[in-house]
Amino acid sequence: MKPRILLFNTTADDLLDVQGHLSDSIYEVTAVTSQLSDISRAALTGSIDIVMAVTEKRFDQLFSCIQQINVQNPIPVIVFTYEDSRDVIQAAIKVGVSAYIVDGLQAKRIVSIIDTACFRFNEQQLIKEELERTKNTLSERKIIDKAKGIIMQRSKISENEAYKAMRKMAMNKNIKMVDLAESIISASEILA
């Protein structure tokens, strides 16, 4: 199945040449609209894979819509415009626009621009996922260390012995170390 593009256009141009190039490519334009609500609805229901916005105005509303999409169902967003303000460009990047193209909407370049934006988007998603996993691992490590400290204090044993005891108990109960650690912390709070 071809990646589905929603074309958001608030300009006077009908963009038929762009749509023609896209229909001859690996992409399919499944909707053309000038309504922001259509972007949100399509993106949040999963009926599109990419948003391509061609606009000269309404950046605050568009960026708010993009930010909402990126929180709930992230997809690549490419913005084509004539607005070259540094503030607008910075705001676009901050809300998660994958590519912000100033005065560069040419039908012959459209496929490579979308390809590049999608590749960049996918790489950023991988980095975000890795960051989230790292944060979770660090958070779990802190919980385990706190439980280990409780065991060390109560049982008057070394850190290594406390860790081994926790690991053995987690294995015997067939639970994760972090789940055991949370139970130890909860129990110590009750007994405190």
Would 120 be classed as within a structural domain? no
Residue 92 and residue 135 in one domain: no
Would 179 be classed as within a structural domain? yes
**Number of domains, the chain:** 2
117-154: burial string, b at 16+ Cβ within 10 Å, e else: bbeebeeeeeeeeeeeeeeeeeebeebbeebbebbbee
Phi/psi of residue 74, nearest 5 degrees? -60, 135
Host domain of residue 137: 131-191
Residue 11 and residue 101 in one domain: yes
User: What CATH code is carried by the domain that includes residue 66?
Assistant: 3.40.50.2300
Residue 46 and residue 101 in one domain: yes
User: What CATH code is carried by the domain that includes residue 140?
Assistant: 1.10.10.10
Taking the C-alpha atoms of residue 95 and residue 66, their distance in angstroms, rounded to an integer, is 6
Domain end among 89, 105, 121: 105
Would 113 be classed as within a structural domain? no
DSSP code, position 109: G
pLDDT tens digit at each of 192 positions of the chain: 899 999 999 988 888 899 989 989 999 999 999 998 999 999 989 999 999 999 987 688 999 999 999 999 999 999 999 888 999 999 999 999 999 999 888 888 999 999 999 999 999 999 999 999 999 999 999 999 999 999 999 999 999 999 999 999 999 999 999 999 999 999 999 887
Would 121 be classed as within a structural domain? no
Question: Cβ-count burial of 191 within 10 angstroms (0-12 exposed, 13-18 middle, 19+ buried)?
Answer: exposed
Would 11 be classed as within a structural domain? yes
